[in-house]
Homo-oligomer: A and B are copies of this chain.
Amino acid sequence: MNDVKIIEIKKSIFEDNDKDANNLREELKRRGVFLLNLMSSPGSGKTTTLIQTINLLKDRLRVAVMEADIDSDVDAKKIKAATGIESVQLHTGGMCHLDAEMTRQGLESLPLDKLDLAILENVGNLVCPAEFDTGSCRNVMILSVPEGHDKPLKYPLMFSICDLVLINKIDVAPYFDFDIEECKKNILLRNPDARVILICAKTGEGIPEFVDYLIAEVNNWKAQ
């Protein structure tokens, strides 16, 4: 029952990814689908965040998820079981990121004409996914408390291309040397326009604010 589609993504020839990405964005615009690219380190809580978010969101927007991983279908099954929405697993064949053409291959497996929002959960990696425009309308990343507040100093590009940073696992902040204000300062150093929301995906804290953000972004984008 919780079987999910597994799509084996082919490596792109990567001739002009920026052009492919712009073309994909234009096509999505015509079809009225907002593409969100969600990135983070391995284990920072992307899937749990998505489950909480989708359960608050699915009665207000028509949403589906693409779970990109090198191997396994753990995440796509989890999403489908916990939310009931359409969820596909993209296997990247060892690739450390998705580019626009690979994203397009994933999107083709979704019922785009019945969607408002398609979410791409990118490969867990703070380096390579930041270098490739997937064609998304917005880039969002999760930084979890155990990773440390210095990460924007070490992974500058990722933080500079994200419109929103979700700081996750704030429930365990007392057990780690994590300075939220210092972290915000480091994020704004990389992207002065970045928005920051504190969340705990496990308990759902902060998720309503992320849901409001998504609904506003999707509506703005459709109205443009």
- Chain A contact residues, CB within 8 Å of chain B: 41-44, 69-72, 74, 94, 96, 123-128, 131, 144, 146-148, 150-151, 153-157, 169, 171-172, 175-176
Contact = CB atoms under 8 A, between A and B. Distances in A.
A218 to B, nearest CB: 29
23 contacts: A41-B42, A41-B124, A42-B151, A42-B155, A43-B144, A43-B146, A43-B151, A69-B154, A70-B127, A70-B156, A71-B153, A72-B150, A74-B153, A125-B126, A125-B127, A125-B128, A144-B146, A146-B146, A146-B169, A171-B175, A172-B172, A172-B176, A175-B175
Nearest to A175: B172
Given A175-B172, A175-B175, A42 B94 contact: no
A156 B71 contact: yes
A147 B43 contact: yes
Given A74-B150, A125-B127, 18 more contacts: A41-B41, A41-B42, A41-B43, A41-B124, A41-B147, A42-B126, A42-B147, A42-B155, A43-B148, A43-B151, A71-B156, A94-B157, A96-B96, A124-B155, A125-B126, A146-B172, A171-B175, A172-B176
A126 B154 CA distance: 16
Contacts of A156: 70-71
A154 B70 contact: yes
Contacts of A144: 43, 146
Contacts of A123: 127
